[in-house]
């Protein structure tokens, strides 16, 4: 991607400053100009994706009745503009794609919400509706483009709002680095824009902004209003006005130039189309019609008015390029071959490979990133409830929100357990899955609305503590929990049955849960949940499917790893061997029996990032013992014995910590399942919000589209 100019230095920010100067400070700080798309029919949805691909920050879509969904897998949808601005208060621009029968109400909603810039794509809006829109726009100081506009595009900024294609070329300081100078094009016609752009670019003339004012008879912003703002932008060298017959925009512009010459300090060239159009015949746009017998609106009248104030008028692309070159003294903004190469690559671009996106977790060798934050940092600094919120909402919760989550989770943990009996020899995953399916309290917890998914996830994590306590027989200790203590204590009570809680031990248990929350869309538990969610079952059914997929093969190695470490320690004590020698001996015994050492090896990581975070924390809390010591040396010993590199994974480290803390070994799997509930919840809600029902899922086609790597707040 080429290096764009800073957002606060561009023409779009310049326009926003005229309408809402308070937003400029935010834009300068964040380097983002946030936009919304109102109306998510076929065209609105399609162009939302194209705008995003171009580089526009499309923060949200607005579609009544579709709140909680996501388009293009990354753009959240809200029912109303008001709801959107409660979550995203810095929206600077909106494009409106509603049908002309509902465009009035949609536009008024955006205007009254205080969005400073509106691109009204809709055409043929009834004049009485346009009147209401224009009155409201003037009252609220909103800059309105359209109706019937193809939109606006700012090439050096990598931002477009509307349907203009990526065929405009900016100034290039050096290959791949844009500059902000150039020609600004303001046009009544979309089609003419493309021809002008190609002609200018073919002569090395850059466009710093291209603005479609709209082709309907009554529009929000005219040449007279826009040209002075464009000329006030320091990096505009010249303005091209592309007009057409009909209406009086060009004549009124000429009058204003004559009356206020100081507002027009830069050169201008006008291209007027329709020189040979017959009177009374509409030519393309609703406004492109000359009324019989009128002395304005004709090609002749427009040309006369503009030439009288010193603006050259042309009627062909050839003459336009000639005039512009003369005005800018033949300045060239980029190497012309660069433009031709760009267009060649666009034409020859191969079809995109099939893919689908997830915004939850990015998985790469030795790297795990959840919504932009490294998982090892999350383990060290975040609680389970904070992490669950991050998984579902892609941001960390504010303190007030987190306090609400805490109360909800503790309340859920203190409710009676569903009537589940664990059969003799039954895997703990199966018993926990049954608890999910039979929990009436969980099934009745609502999940609709913008906060419904995260609230249900938090409630489920509270209920999970009760399930564990019921299955393990620790409910008496859990019942002593209160909202005044950390949720880590609630987990610890359920896991251990201890009424007196050691903060370091409870924090360590919670850290192991957090370490297990998610590993992307490809693990069997995630796949089971996502496939289930694709047919829109109840939340508990889909999550229970994922829990049921956590077996000794996937996610269950921790318990067997704990037994291995305990065996090594026992051999050390019994035979008076060093830990390394005892571990080597036990490894050989396992190999002689053809028995696999669990908790070692990983399909993605050679150095599991969760491993080091847990080692660091267990040492910090003074809970590391012989089993943790063995976990740090076992990979090297294995390589000496078998001449194979098999690094220890998160299951193995959890098994070692569980063993050193003196906990039941089967809790290693229980803790893994506990954490994974948060991730499975996120995958369930992501699937139903962003993907079509009953889709064919190729998990190898999944692509991370979430937030880029960012620093975890301290």
Catalytic residues: 285
Instruction: Say if residues 705 and 692 touch (Cβ distance below 8 Å).
Output: no
Determine the 3-state secondary structure of 23 from DSSP.
Answer: helix
Return d(Cα 393, Cα 144) in angstroms, integer. Answer: 32
Determine the 3-state secondary structure of 263 from DSSP.
Answer: helix
Separation in Å, CA 41 to CA 46, 61, 97, 341, 687: 8, 11, 8, 34, 20
User: How does DSSP classify residue 155?
Assistant: G
Determine the 3-state secondary structure of 162 from DSSP.
Answer: strand
Backbone angles phi, psi at 60, to 5 degrees: -160, 165
Instruction: Enumerate the β-bridge partners of residue 183.
Output: 207, 238
Return d(Cα 672, Cα 668) in angstroms, integer. Answer: 6
User: How does DSSP classify residue 555?
Assistant: B
Return d(Cα 430, Cα 471) in angstroms, integer. Answer: 11
Q: At what angle do helices 667-690 and 452-472 cross, to 10 degrees?
A: 160
Cα 452 to the chain's mean position, in Å?
Answer: 19
Is the torsion defined by CA of 32, 369, 686, 41 positive or negative? positive
Return d(Cα 527, Cα 322) in angstroms, integer. Answer: 61
611 CB-near residues (< 8 Å, 6+ apart): 647, 648, 649, 650, 652, 653
Residue 360 CB-density burial (10 A; 0-12 exposed, 13-18 middle, 19+ buried): buried
Q: What angle do CA 170, 173, 177 make, to 5 degrees?
A: 75
Longest CA–CA span in the chain (Å) reads 113
243 CB-near residues (< 8 Å, 6+ apart): 187, 188, 223, 249, 250, 270, 271, 272, 273, 302
Instruction: Say if residues 15 and 35 touch (Cβ distance below 8 Å).
Output: no
Separation in Å, CA 31 to CA 7, 9, 11, 182, 261: 5, 10, 14, 22, 34
Cα 127 to the chain's mean position, in Å?
Answer: 38
Helical residues (DSSP H) of 382-498, grouped into ranges: 384-393, 399-414, 428-437, 440-444, 452-472, 475-478, 487-496
Cβ count near 175 (within 10 Å): 9
Q: Classify the phi-psi angles of 643: left when phi > 0, otherwise alpha if psi is within -120 to 50, otherwise beta.
A: left
Instruction: Enumerate the β-bridge partners of residue 555.
Output: 551
Instruction: Say if residues 145 and 120 touch (Cβ distance below 8 Å).
Output: yes
Nearest residue to 559 via CA among 420, 375, 427, 366: 427
HEC letters along 608-641: CHHHHHHHHHHHHCCCCCHHHHHHHHHHHHHHHH
Return d(Cα 540, Cα 549) in angstroms, integer. Answer: 14
**Residue 497 tokens, joined:** 């049955």
Return d(Cα 558, Cα 562) in angstroms, integer. Answer: 6
Return d(Cα 37, Cα 49) in angstroms, integer. Answer: 10
Instruction: Say if residues 474 and 497 touch (Cβ distance below 8 Å).
Output: yes
């Amino acid at each position: 991607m080429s290096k764009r100019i800073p957002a606060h230095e561009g023409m779009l920010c310049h326009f926003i400053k005229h309408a809402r100067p308070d937003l400029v400070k935010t834009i300068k700080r964040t380097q983002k100009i946030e936009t919304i798309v109102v109306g998510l029919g076929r065209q609105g949805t399609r162009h939302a994706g194209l705008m995003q691909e171009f580089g526009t920050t499309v923060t949200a879509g607005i579609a009544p009745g579709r709140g909680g969904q996501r388009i293009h897998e990354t753009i959240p949808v809200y029912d109303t503009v008001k709801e959107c601005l409660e979550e995203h208060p810095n929206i600077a621009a909106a494009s409106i794609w509603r049908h002309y029968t509902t465009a009035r109400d949609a536009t008024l909603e955006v205007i009254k919400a205080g969005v400073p810039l509106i691109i009204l794509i809709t055409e043929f809006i009834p004049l009485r509706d346009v009147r209401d829109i224009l009155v409201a726009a003037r009252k609220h100081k909103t800059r309105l483009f359209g109706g019937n506009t193809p939109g606006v595009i700012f090439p050096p900024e990598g931002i477009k709002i509307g349907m203009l294609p990526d065929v405009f070329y900016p100034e290039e300081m050096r290959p791949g680095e844009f500059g902000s100078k150039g020609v600004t094009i303001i046009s009544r016609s979309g089609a003419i824009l493309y021809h002008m752009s190609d002609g200018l670019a073919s002569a090395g003339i850059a466009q710093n902004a291209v603005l479609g004012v709209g082709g309907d008879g009554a529009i929000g912003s005219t040449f007279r209003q826009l040209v002075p703002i464009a000329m006030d932008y320091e990096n505009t060298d010249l303005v091209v006005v592309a007009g057409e017959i009909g209406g009086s925009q060009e004549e009124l512009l000429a009058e204003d130039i004559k009356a206020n010459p100081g507002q027009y300090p830069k050169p201008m060239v006008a291209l007027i189309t329709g020189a040979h159009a017959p009177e009374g015949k509409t030519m393309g746009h609703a406004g492109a019609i000359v009324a019989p017998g009128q002395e304005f609106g004709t090609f002749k009248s427009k040309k006369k008015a503009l030439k009288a104030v010193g603006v050259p008028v042309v009627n062909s692309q050839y003459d336009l390029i000639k005039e512009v070159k003369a005005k800018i003294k033949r300045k060239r903004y980029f190497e012309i071959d660069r433009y031709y190469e760009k267009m060649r690559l666009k034409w020859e671009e191969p079809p995109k490979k099939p893919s689908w996106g997830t915004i939850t977790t990015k998985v790469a060798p030795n790297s795990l990133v959840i919504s932009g934050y490294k998982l090892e940092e999350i383990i060290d600094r975040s609680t389970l409830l904070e992490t669950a919120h991050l998984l579902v909402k892609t941001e960390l919760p504010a303190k007030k929100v987190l306090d609400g989550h805490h109360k909800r989770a503790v309340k859920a943990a203190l409710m009676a357990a569903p009537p589940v009996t664990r059969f003799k020899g039954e895997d703990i995953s199966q018993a926990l899955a049954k608890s999910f399916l039979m929990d009436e309290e969980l099934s009745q917890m609502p999940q609709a609305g913008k906060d419904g998914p995260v609230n249900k996830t938090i409630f489920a994590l509270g209920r999970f503590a009760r399930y564990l306590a019921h299955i393990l027989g620790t409910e008496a200790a859990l019942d002593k929990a209160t909202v005044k203590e950390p949720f880590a204590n609630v987990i610890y009570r359920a896991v251990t049955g201890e009424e007196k809680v050691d903060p370091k031990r409870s924090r360590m248990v919670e850290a192991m849960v957090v370490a297990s929350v998610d590993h992307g869309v490809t693990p069997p538990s995630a796949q089971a949940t996502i496939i289930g969610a694709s047919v829109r079952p109840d939340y508990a059914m889909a999550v229970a499917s994922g829990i049921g997929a956590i077996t000794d093969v996937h996610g269950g190695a921790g318990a067997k790893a704990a037994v291995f470490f305990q065996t090594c320690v026992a051999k050390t004590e019994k035979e008076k061997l060093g830990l390394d020698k005892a571990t080597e001996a036990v490894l050989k015994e396992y190999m002689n029996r053809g028995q696999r050492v669990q908790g070692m090896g990983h399909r993605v990581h050679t150095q599991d990032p969760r491993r080091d975070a847990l080692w660091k924390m267990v040492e910090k809390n003074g809970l590391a013992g012989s089993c943790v010591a063995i976990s740090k040396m076992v990979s090297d010993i294995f390589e000496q014995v078998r001449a194979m590199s098999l690094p220890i994974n998160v299951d193995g480290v959890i098994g070692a910590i569980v063993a050193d803390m003196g906990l039941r070994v089967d809790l290693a799997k229980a803790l893994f399942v506990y954490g994974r509930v948060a991730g499975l919840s996120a995958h369930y809600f992501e699937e139903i919000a962003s993907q079509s029902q009953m889709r064919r899922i190729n998990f190898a086609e999944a692509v991370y589209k979430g937030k880029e790597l960012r620093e975890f707040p301290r």
